[in-house]
Chains A and B, each alone.
Chain A
Amino acid sequence: MSVVALRLAGPLQAWGSGSRFVRRSTDIAPTKSGIIGMIAAARGLRRTDPLEKLLDLSFGVRIDQPGQLLRDFQTAQRPRRDRNGDLDWQSLPLSTRYYLTDATFLAVLEGERALVEGIDEAVRAPHFPLYLGRRSCPPAGPVVLGVSDQSLHDVLETWPWLASSRVQKQHRERVVRLATIRDAAPDETAVESIRDTPVSFDPNHRDYAWRSVVRDTVEVPNPHGVSDPAPEHDPMTVLGG
């Protein structure tokens, strides 16, 4: 098994797993369906094409820089020309859209070597443009970080912190704790299921299956850290049992 690591950063991102109708929400971290969709686009698959092997990948994400939530009350209109040639603005449904601003994530996909290398190649030279969950959210900087032979868990644990140096300097400790969200291993008891395994992106019958996720934390060194964490005050040690 090999893994490919992706860096997801940009002014705006939106990763919805439960969006319906005019309320378009975002999760706090990239969703598996969002990333598989992005890779399918990079490989030039159409929305109606079968996803096949992409569904065998296991997925994990680390929240390197959580960013802030942005709410957009969207009142978009589109121009329509009347029969007599006048321009007339037609309102689209009012919708509330949520975005993450100024966030950075490390996403890791694990699968067979050939498949993972194919993903690496496709994302470096994408067939359709890449975007971070929503068409209006282009990525900032290169997305692919490379292929390696480690396990998904090791990459999430050992990859250097991707947060911007401004954010790194705000954390004074030498070690930071980052949240991770990953697929549950087959023998692991998952606490949470979300409807986030893409079955088909076909706009006429889009379909998602359930996905078991595990939320965890990893500790990563902070290159800009200056202090060790403050020692804990433990009054129990002086009581002698």
Chain B
Amino acid sequence: MFLTKMQINPRRRGAQQLLSSPQAMHAAVLAGFPDARPTEDGRILWRLDTYATHRVLLFIASPDKPDLTHLVEQAGWPTTQAWQTAAYDGLLGSLRAGQRWQFRLTANPVRSGRREEWTETKPLGHVTVEQQQQWLLDRAERLGFRIAPSTTGAGEPDLAVVDRSVRRFGRGGASVTISMATFDGHLDIEDVDAMRRSLTFGIGRAKAYGCGLLTLSRPGGAG
């Protein structure tokens, strides 16, 4: 597996098109691979991290190395910087139960529900921060980790929803609506195999649309 980071130049018209539609971004990311099918190692996952209007980063986890030339030409800085790809296997191999990591995840938290006139249940997006946090807390064990306790709050999990939105975009003739939430916090690994699977195959629904990529970095502060 490989992890790739590319900085998007949001002032460019091509970038604005891609940022406005996860469907278009999905196509652009997949176009960076000769074979975009999932392998037994993992699948292609991507995420956009927005820190300010001018600073947008694209992360891609993939079984093969991507060639993002087309994306840089369309939406990046072609003459000054391209993209950075690093091997993921070293980190995946070094995961051990009990390790604490800082993490970031953009996901599509849903529950299945049925409204009055519906004849079948459908996935409905969670709306409030509490619902979205509970969604991840409920899943954490199955995904191979536990959210670490917060260093400040008494007994509360170290988990924050730092960004959330409802995205509507076109896909063919139809329109797609997904609710997205970005989580930041610290986690403790419990089950290494499940954790590895969460990192390489993603978490939750809408993985084609920039949801489900979990990334780890060194724990900050006292954590």
Contact = CB atoms under 8 A, between A and B. Distances in A.
A236 B184 contact: no
Contact of B88 (A230, A234, A237, A239): A239
B84 A236 contact: yes
B216 A217 contact: no
A239 B91 contact: yes
Contact of B218 (A177, A229, A230, A238): A238
Interface in A227-241: 229-241
A64 B54 CA distance: 17
Nearest to B51: A232
Interface residues of B, number: 24
Nearest to A173: B52
Contact of B215 (A230, A231, A235, A241): A235
Given A217-B54, A233-B49, A233-B184, A240 B90 contact: yes
Interface of B: 3, 5, 49, 51-52, 54, 57, 59, 84, 86-88, 90-91, 102-104, 162, 184, 215-218, 220
A231 B90 contact: no
25 contacts: A177-B52, A177-B54, A217-B54, A231-B220, A232-B49, A232-B57, A233-B102, A233-B103, A233-B104, A233-B184, A233-B215, A233-B217, A235-B59, A235-B104, A235-B215, A235-B217, A236-B3, A236-B86, A237-B218, A238-B217, A239-B86, A239-B87, A239-B88, A240-B86, A240-B90
Nearest to B52: A177
B216 A235 contact: yes
B3 A239 contact: yes
Interface of A: 177, 217, 229-241
A234 B86 CA distance: 12
Given A232-B57, A233-B184, A239-B86, 16 more contacts: A229-B51, A230-B51, A231-B220, A232-B51, A233-B103, A233-B215, A234-B5, A235-B3, A235-B5, A235-B59, A235-B104, A235-B217, A239-B3, A239-B88, A239-B90, A240-B90
Contacts of A238: 91, 216-218
A237 B3 CA distance: 11
B22 to A, nearest CB: 20
Contacts of B215: 233, 235
Contacts of A233: 49, 102-104, 184, 215, 217
A87 to B, nearest CB: 53
A214 to B, nearest CB: 13
B162 A230 contact: yes
B217 A237 contact: yes
Nearest to A241: B86
A94 to B, nearest CB: 33
Contacts of B84: 236
B143 to A, nearest CB: 17
A240 B90 CA distance: 8
